[in-house]
Chain A
Amino acid sequence: MRPIYLIPLALFLFFAGLAGYQLTQPKLQNIPSQMIEQPLPEFTLQPAFEGLPGASRSDFVGGQPRLLNIWASWCLPCIAEAPHLERLEEAGVEIIGVSIRDRPEAVASFLNQHGNPYTRIGADDISALMLDIGASGVPETYVIDAEGNIRYQHIGDIRTDTVPLLLEILEEVR
């Protein structure tokens, strides 16, 4: 047997091992932000509508950990997560919203229809904050601790089972 004839076998075994390893790995569908465990970037956003003040980085510093909710009135999953945000609010969590590429009257009518869990809503008309904090879509929710650091990112809408998870993390980072 000439060693050269073993080369194809060796290459194949390497591939099979690699593919086998990948098959056993959970397939991540979401891309986690690179900003987790980093300080929240500096930003100041105008109010999204007349009813609530706008949002800036300083609103996240001091007191309790807060949630930063990225949403939009045109986003369907945001309607689905609205009742769960309400429940978080009822549990005493301060939620600061950032509405993406929205119009004031649409924001107001969305909140009328689906409830308003927010203390502040900033308007991000060019997705600037979205890019800065590494959000890949709408909705996303971030846990920000009292020092203004991003501690956790939830991608997609908040569902029934996400609520206790978020409450737990908020407790942890306190």
Chain B
Amino acid sequence: MIAELGLAALWLSTALAALQMISGAMGIRDGAASPFAIYARPAAVVQAFLAVLSFFLLLYAFAVTDLSIKLVATNSHSAKPLIYKLTGTWGNHEGSMLLWVAVLALSGGLLAGLEHRLKEKTMSATLAVQGFVAIGFYSFLLLSSNPFERLPVPAIEGGGLNPLLQDIGLAIHPPTLYIGYVGLSVAFSLAMGALITRQVTPDFAKVLRPWVLGAWVFLTFGITAGSYWAYYELGWGGWWFWDPVENASLMPWLAATALLHSVSVLAARDALRTWTIMLGVLAFSMSMLGTFLVRSGVLTSVHSFAVDPERGSFILALLGLYIGGALVIFALRAGSISEGKRFSMTSREGALVFNNVMLSAILAIVLLGTLYPLLTEAFDVRVSVGPPYFNPAGAIFAIPMFVVMAIGPLLRWKDDKPARIQFELALVASIVIAIIALVAIFGDYNVLPVLGLALAVGLGVAALLPLRGRSLRRVPVATWGMVCAHFGIAVALFGMASESAFTTERLAAVAPGDAEEVGGWTVQLESIAPVAGPNWTAIEARVLASRGGGEPTILAPQSRNFWSPPQPTSESALITRWDGQLYVVIGDQAGTDESGNPRWQLRVWWKPFVTFIWYGGLLVAFGGILSIFGRVRVDLKRRNAAARGDVRREELDALNDSGPLPEPAE
């Protein structure tokens, strides 16, 4: 019954999306005059309710392990802990697509229910586009990936879940990324709505901004969590692998970062109109491209999802329909939107444009690197593009971007003279040069990590400079958001550079009792013992780690074997200190030592300040939240003030209309 209800809710949502699209389209032509136009908003709201309901029904089916549903039977197992039964809901293709449409419908419903600032025609166009996008994804779900499909005979036991994905990190990062991806669909719909009705104005930018910021916060958080998940779960000691699936989450983030800055320029200065629209389309294209790459299996990745060319073709068709369609409208309409106000190169806008171009260039680099194997495979050459391409090619654009990012917030809008901020420029430049010199004297490191360290410190100081000489209590919340996010980027960059430059590694075959030295730590393998969990067995090592002869800490890295489906994974063990992390992985048995004791592969890293990468990511996301909060509060205040002004004006008008004022009594 649950499955049938869920399916019915999905079909109803699809019908409502069609109603929303038609009603919205009528509204574009006739505005509020069309009798049909009034249905778009309620259709979006009810559809949101139904789609979310459908997702909760699937969640319930997973919670009770309803093995008559094919999806549950293939992806879950009755012996699995409840939390992983629930996360299993979106750990597979169908469930994750249902989550996708539920979030899509929810954001469409929120937009329709809460947003009343836009011109009614623009809103109609936006809802029509949103409905059009939703129909595509509903039909994808219903026609090629029905999550509620029943088995003719219920299964006796479920088929498990990819053990690599059986982790709390998975409970967080994919849904977070999805919310980000789908939030960008609202930005896309708004951009198309504004383009169709030629309303690319600062008011439109103010409506667009919280959606972009919101999506961007979720993407930032999702990427940060995903990176940490890969770091401790894969057991390879790295935090970014330039894997196609990781790139698929990075590309929308880069586009959204560019978009949110260009939206700010549009909102504040009425410039960069077509560029903002282009980025709106681009950001959602990258979300859909990410989905396509992950789901179609055209590229190989460490993230295992069931791949299916038919589904790939479906997503590609949707991609062609939406993005191709949007780009056609863009090509036709963009010329009729004037570029907006001019500004000088040395101004806040100038810096923002420069960094927009740099972000887009990095995006192009990542996109090219991700798709290059696809291109060469067409000519039967198999290649793998990795860090040797991405790191230097990205750095070419990232380094100037960080420099301008340090200076930009100090500049004034429209036009400014560098001489005005010469103290700040000199301060940041001397910090950067001093650190390069310092690191170069004391060690022999690669160029990029050293530059990264210096820029990180310079940027960290520069990020705080906009607060200089201001009364901290009167700084707007949105400015605090910017300072916090920029500072977070500096913190994360510092972590990345420090990890790359200073990590020390030790790989050794050790017998119990043997000790190894790494990065000031003494790591001793004490014992090896088998342990068992709810659905796995493991070899667990007891490792004593002590720093500088201090009190030892016990670590228990495991080499796990899941039995449904059978798959080995390694559970790393970590010690976190303020200045870094000790990362210990136990591998296979590796022969015996001279006296016949079995030896085990032990891999130990000391990673100075590696945690700053994720602290930085969290700071960036927190900055985004502050910014949304500040912007929305100011907007609401202004709107209330404007409304009060309107009331007063009406009262005045009413007074004026009622003829000459009566003479004062006295």
Contacts and interface: CB of A to CB of B under 8 A. Distances in A.
Interface string B428-472: 000000000000000000000000000000000000000000000
Given A16-B316, A20-B316, A8 B330 contact: yes
Given A12-B323, A21-B378, A1 B331 contact: yes
B605 to A, nearest CB: 29
Nearest to B293: A19
Contacts of A8: 278, 281-282, 327, 330-331
A1 B336 CA distance: 8
Interface string B367-388: 0000100110110001000000
The interface residues of chain B, by DSSP majority, are classed as: helix
B320 A5 contact: no
A23 B335 contact: no
B576 interface: no
Contacts of A15: 371
A31 B382 contact: yes
B327 A9 contact: yes
A9 B371 contact: no
A18 interface: yes
Interface string B282-322: 10010000001000111000000000010011001001100
A169 interface: no
Nearest to A14: B375
Contact of B298 (A1, A9, A22): A22
A12 B382 contact: no
Contacts of A12: 285, 323-324, 327
A21 B312 CA distance: 12
Interface of B: 274, 278, 281-282, 285, 292, 296-298, 309, 312-313, 316, 319-320, 323-324, 327-328, 330-332, 334-335, 371, 374-375, 377-378, 382
Contacts of B320: 16
Contact of A23 (B274, B312, B334, B382): B312
A6 B298 contact: no
Given A16-B319, A19-B292, A2 B374 contact: no
30 contacts: A2-B334, A5-B330, A5-B334, A5-B335, A6-B331, A8-B278, A8-B282, A9-B324, A9-B328, A12-B285, A12-B323, A12-B327, A13-B324, A15-B371, A16-B319, A18-B374, A18-B375, A18-B378, A19-B296, A19-B298, A19-B316, A19-B374, A20-B313, A22-B298, A22-B374, A23-B309, A23-B313, A27-B297, A27-B309, A31-B382
A97 to B, nearest CB: 26
A16 to B, nearest CB: 5
Nearest to A7: B331
A155 to B, nearest CB: 15
A34 to B, nearest CB: 12
Contacts of A22: 298, 374, 377-378
A23 B331 contact: no
A22 B274 CA distance: 33
A31 B381 CA distance: 11
Contacts of B334: 2, 5
Residue with the greatest number of chain B CB neighbours at <10 A, chosen from A19, A20, A21, A31: A19
Nearest to B324: A12
Contacts of A9: 324, 327-328, 330-331
B71 to A, nearest CB: 24
A150 to B, nearest CB: 20
Contacts of A2: 334-335
Contacts of A25: 377
Given A12-B285, A23-B296, A1 B335 contact: yes
Given A22-B298, A23-B316, A16 B378 contact: no
A29 B136 CA distance: 31
Nearest to A19: B316
Contacts of B378: 18, 21-22
A1 B332 contact: yes
B472 to A, nearest CB: 43
A98 B332 CA distance: 66
A23 B298 contact: yes
A5 B331 contact: yes
A8 B279 CA distance: 11
Nearest to A2: B335
Contacts of B371: 15, 18
A12 B323 CA distance: 8
A31 B274 CA distance: 46
A5 B309 CA distance: 32
A17 to B, nearest CB: 10
A50 to B, nearest CB: 25
Contacts of B332: 1
Contacts of B281: 8
Contacts of B298: 19, 22-23
A1 B337 CA distance: 11
Given A5-B330, A16-B320, A18-B375, 12 more contacts: A2-B335, A5-B335, A8-B327, A8-B330, A9-B328, A12-B327, A15-B371, A19-B316, A19-B374, A20-B313, A23-B309, A23-B312
Contacts of B331: 1, 5-6, 8-9
B145 to A, nearest CB: 16
